[in-house]
Amino acid sequence: MAQNYSSEIDYEDEKRIRNRIEELRRGRKIITFVSGKGGVGKSNLAVNTAIALSQLGVRTLVADADFGLADVDLLIGLKSRFSLRHYLSGEKKMFELAQLGFDGVRFISGGNGNSRMLRITVDETERIMNGLRRIQLPIDIIIIDGQAGATDNLMKVLQLSDEAVVVTVPEPPAVTDSYSLIRNAQNRKVMPPFQVIINRVTDTADAASVANAFLRLVGKDVDEASLSYIPEDSAVRRAVRRSEPCLIAEPDSDFSRAVRQAARRLIGIPENPEPEDVVDGVRTKIRKFFGNKL
């Protein structure tokens, strides 16, 4: 059958995505993004990963659980009249909070700048998690933008999550804080299976050695399935200023390409067979660095 190479690849890729989505539809999954400290890009990665998943056809919701410091509204450019605060007060049902955002992704606000949400208790956190788990909307994956640092609320969120994504930057203070966050959660026996994202990578060999040491410390195998690298990219700051997620504002940027690949990895779909330059470039260099260990 005369079929050219690239259309054959596309067909196979679409089939893989379709099969994976069918699996995901059988059970809702909560994936929480965490970081040892603030400012490492956790919210941007949570939002843009959610959009990338939605673009693949996964029915995705982002919930902002960085209570009090919730800023996902700003990143998405939506003004929310209702937030998780209205769920806790009983004024709204969980599904009534969800707004439709870019490319079909749904979004629930954490109520930013609200002092009530700064004082949220662990029991209230548990109510929110249960409400999200049972939300009456057709949702396959719930991405939670969690609090930075090992707070009691975050520990409860992790305990009630199916998976986590630990976001760090390659600098030692951020890596150390991520390590203590994971250790803390592991000691309390609340750490779900997790992947690691190293964000703001400029020096790939450096990031790879950081990642390698880090994964070993937290007792994970150094394998491709559990690790993503996201490059430093000025497109992120430009997008944040415009209150538009980078994936929408600059879909061809290095950041957006890398996030799309990370999103695929998150749900276990192999890398896009049509190589996306940056990630592929990064990976090739990393492979060289590690020899055949990766």
Ligand X SMILES: Nc1ncnc2c1ncn2[C@@H]1O[C@H](COP(=O)(O)OP(=O)(O)O)[C@@H](O)[C@H]1O
Q: Which residues bind Mg ion (CB under 5 A)?
A: 43
Helices and strands (H and E) in the chain: how many:
14, 8
The item of ligand X, Mg ion, none sharing an interface with residue 147, based on CB under 5 to 8 Å by kind, is: none
- CA of 71: how far to CAs of 10, 139, 245, in Å? 36, 22, 12
Nearest Cα neighbor of 188 from 151, 163, 155, 154 is 155
**Rounded least distance, CB 42 to Mg ion, Å:** 5
Q: Does 72 bind ligand X (CB under 6 A)?
A: no
Q: Which of 28, 30, 44, 257 binds ligand X (CB under 6 A)?
A: 44
The item of ligand X, Mg ion, none sharing an interface with residue 236, based on CB under 5 to 8 Å by kind, is: ligand X
Give Cβ neighbours of residue 180 (< 8 Å, ≥ 6 apart): 36, 150
User: Could you give the CA distance from residue 214 to residue 192 in angstroms, rounded to a whole number?
Assistant: 17
**Rounded least distance, CB 209 to ligand X, Å:** 19
Q: Which of 8, 15, 25, 39 binds ligand X (CB under 6 A)?
A: 39
Interface mask (CB under 6 A) for ligand X, residues 186-225, using x and -?
Answer: -------------xx-------------------------
8 Å CB contact between 76 and 107: yes
End-to-end CA distance of the chain: 36
Q: Does 106 bind ligand X (CB under 6 A)?
A: no
8 Å CB contact between 130 and 160: yes
Q: Does 41 bind ligand X (CB under 6 A)?
A: yes
Residue (47 or 267) nearer to Mg ion, CB: 47
Q: Which of 13, 16, 29, 38 binds ligand X (CB under 6 A)?
A: 38
**Rounded least distance, CB 33 to ligand X, Å:** 8
Nearest Cα neighbor of 31 from 231, 187, 150, 195 is 195
Question: What part of residues 219-278 is at the interface with ligand X (CB under 6 A)?
Answer: 230, 232-233, 236-237, 240, 255
- CA of 97: how far to CAs of 152, 186, 234, 272, in Å? 25, 32, 32, 34
User: Could you give the CA distance from residue 49 to residue 231 in angstroms, rounded to a whole number?
Assistant: 14
**Rounded least distance, CB 193 to ligand X, Å:** 21
Q: Which amino acid is at 19?
A: N
**Rounded least distance, CB 89 to ligand X, Å:** 26
Q: Which of 31, 34, 43, 65 binds ligand X (CB under 6 A)?
A: 43
Query: What are the φ and ψ backbone dihedral angles of 284, each rounded to 5 degrees?
Result: -60, -45
The item of Mg ion, ligand X, none sharing an interface with residue 237, based on CB under 5 to 8 Å by kind, is: ligand X
Positions that interact with ligand X (CB under 6 A): 35, 38-44, 199-200, 230, 232-233, 236-237, 240, 255
